[in-house]
Amino acid sequence: MTATTTQRATPSGAPQHRRSPSRRRPGGSLRRMRQATPLTYFALIMTFILSVFPLWWMFVVATRTTTAASQFPPALVPGANFFHNVGRLFENSSANFMTGLMNSLIASTSVAVSVVFFCSLAGFALAKLQFKGRAFFTVAVVVTMAVPVQIGLVPLLILMDWLGWRGELQSVIVPFMVSGFGVFMMRQYVLQTIPDDLMEAARIDGCSTFRIYWSVVLPALRPAMVVLGLLTFMQTWNEFIWALAVLSPENPTVQFSIQQLNESAFSRDFALMFTGATFATLPLLIIFFVFGRQLVGRIMEGAIKA
Amino acid sequence: MLSRLDVRASPYAFITPFFLLFGVFGLFPLLYTVWVSLHDWSLIGGNEGFAGLDNYVRLVSDEKFWNALFNTLGIFTIAVVPQLLIALMLADTLNRRIRFANVFRMTLILPYITSIAALAIVFSTIFGGEQFGLINQFLTSIGVDPVNWRGDRFASWTAVAVMIDWRWTGYNALIYLAAMQSIPKDVYEAADLDGASRMRQFVQITIPLLRPTIIFTVIISTIGQMQLFTEPVIFAANQSYSGGTQGQFQTVMMLVFQETFDYQNFGYAAAVSWVLFLIVVFMGLINVWLTSRIKGA
């Protein structure tokens, strides 16, 4: 990809709080030019409303009866039916919602842990260890990032049949346990944060290579690991295409469950569907509220380095 | 002795899990797609013999394939063009002295962070299913005829494009904002002294300097949107993979699913997948070619 940077990027994953550069420049006509007008705030508030409305409305309908979904003007205040709907959701036999929720939690957590572990291991080796073919393997990792895996759908299904994993939870875990993006991100971070001296000192102290990774490198990688772990968790939690292909309604992920509700209902039970949708979004919203700033920083930084 | 072995072997041991897993679950399926596509292959019967290029011959004359490709490219176009334009303007807006800058930035990634499947259900309801949706009720209330969001080709494309844009506009805006912040302020100052208006600065300074970033976002969007699936499938609800009664919003990836699961024709599904892969690669190359042309100019 082309370089867009004139600014040195800080280590990936580290939270950054950039200010609008114009703030640093006092006085002058430029300051006036870059100042916000009422129109600016109008545009931003519209964006805010458009971004939040679908989510808020989803939650509101989840707390009411199904007629709220077709009410106009739209219902905007939560009702009293949320726990009633939650009860119906978990009793609903076609969705297997509890199984879906548990499966998604297990799959997303194990994929995130695995990606963070294997990618930091490989990233460390590619950044700091001397071995034949290092340059070749580094390029190979970058190339894998460009391969759209979804396209191998049919053979991957055949492979799952061979392994006997069709319909089993490991089918949505094992194929995603590593990521080229993760390896590359970790390699960059190791290059920027771990000084060679530190490794040599550990080596002289008699540490094995794995011990160096475990006791010296991993602690320093924590910020990058958090961001990679979160992004991977979100991605796995959101995965829909492959889950739909390989799993069954009896053993779904949460996204698959809500699609079951969406498809199966005769007269559509919107309150039920929206309650399911709320649950399918909840962990992601928690991540948003706790780590939103870091993620914004990461996206903006990735853009500069891309 | 042990430590020499450790130094020599460890690097390979550390990179092995990545390459092994990628090889088995990434590269192998991709290559095996070609093999499957050259055979008659069904869900139950397995490999039923070599078919040569039969699947590809069928594909070339298959109206459904061309329809799906047309839909995919059409939805891509009406989604991505406004998305990137709005993202650029939003980024420019955020690149000013504003209060609560962090709140507004967070707002931009909120859609990116939520569940696609859940929000596709919400949007499908907003556009209306069997009952009137919010948008149609709004249109009726201001005296405009309601729109047949699922039945009409262009209307269904619009509905799907809105879902895509809701999710991705803010994400792209953040990428543009990052790039804008790395433009040296002197450039604007000079333009300012020359009396260039804000609009003129945006068009003549910001956009040209952002060109590499814009092309980057176009490439990313292309790779993603050529595999468009979740939004239209959920939008279709009961007619899952057919994309409406006339296939008016069936995408290529939906066709792959329909052939795989509804007709259990793995060979043909693999051929469609492989052609989709080539199209994605081809569009990527066009983008790269454009990038180098623009840079040279």
Model pLDDT for residues A196-211, shown as the tens digit of each residue: 888 888 888 888 889 9
Whole-number pLDDT of residue A167: 93
Q: Which of B122, B193, B230 sits opposite A240 (nearest CB)?
A: B230
- Asked if the Cβ–Cβ distance from A147 to B260 is below 8 Å, we say no
Preceding omega of A73 cis (within 30 degrees of 0): yes
The pLDDT assigned to A267 comes to 63
Cβ(A225)–Cβ(A68) below 8 Å:
no
Which pLDDT score, from 0 to 100, does residue A1 have? 36
Residues B237, A285: C-beta atoms closer than 8 Å = no
pLDDT at B216 over 60: yes
Q: Residue A2's pLDDT is what?
A: 36
* Candidates A18, A152, A262; nearest CB to B237: A262
* pLDDT band at residue B252 using 50, 70 and 90 as cut-offs: very high
What residues have CB less than 8 Å from A212, skipping those under 6 apart?
A199, A202, A203
Give the pLDDT confidence score for residue A110 in this predicted structure. 97
pLDDT at site A7 = 36
Regarding predicted confidence, which is higher, B247 or B220? B247
The helix/strand count (H/E) of chain A reads as 14, 0
Taking only the tens place, the pLDDT of each residue in B42-100 is: 877 788 888 889 999 999 999 999 999 999 999 999 999 999 999 999 998 888 888 88
Q: Which CATH architecture has domain A97-252+284-305?
A: Orthogonal Bundle (1.10)
The answer to whether ipTM exceeds 0.95 is no
Predicted confidence (pLDDT) per residue in A6-41, tens digit: 333 344 444 444 444 444 444 444 555 567 788 888
pLDDT at B195 over 90: no
Which of these ranges, A42-51, B120-129, B150-159, has the smallest mean pLDDT?
A: B120-129
State the Cα angle at B174 between B170 and B177, rounded to 5°: 130
pLDDT of residue A266: 57
Show residues of chain A in contact with B175, CB under 8 Å.
299-300, 302-303, 306
Looking at the complex, report in whole angstroms how far the Cα of residue A135 sits from the nearest Cα belonging to chain B.
13
Residue B211 has pLDDT above 60, yes or no: yes
Chains A and B form CB pairs within 8 A to the count of: 343
pLDDT at A91: 87
For residue B103 the two structure tokens come to 């709140």
Tens digits of residue pLDDT in B97-134? 888 888 888 899 999 989 999 999 999 989 986 557 88
User: Quick check: A112 pLDDT over 90?
Assistant: yes
Nearest residue of B to residue A140 by CA position?
A: B19
Estimate to the nearest angstrom the gap between the alpha carbon of B22 and the chain centroid.
Answer: 23
Q: For B144, which DSSP code?
A: P
Output the CA–CA distances (angstroms, integers) from residue B43 to A154, A252, B269, in the order listed. 10, 21, 11
Q: A89 near A66, Cβ under 8 Å?
A: no
**CA A221 from centre of chain:** 18
How near does any CA of chain A get to the CA of B154, in Å? 22
A200 CB-contact burial (10 Å; exposed 0-12 / middle 13-18 / buried 19+)? exposed
Site from A1, A44, A267 to mutate, B interface, most B CB atoms within 10 angstroms: A44
Query: Would you state the pLDDT for residue A138?
Result: 93
Domain ranges of chain A: 97-252+284-305
3-state secondary structure of B50: strand
Q: Chain A contacts of B114, Cβ < 8 Å? A: 55, 281, 284-285, 288
Give the number of residues written for chain A.
Answer: 306
Average pLDDT, chain A: 84
Mean per-residue pLDDT for A248-258? 93
Question: What sign has the CA pseudo-torsion A123, A128, A132, A134?
Answer: positive
Q: What are phi and psi of B97, to 5 degrees?
A: -75, 105
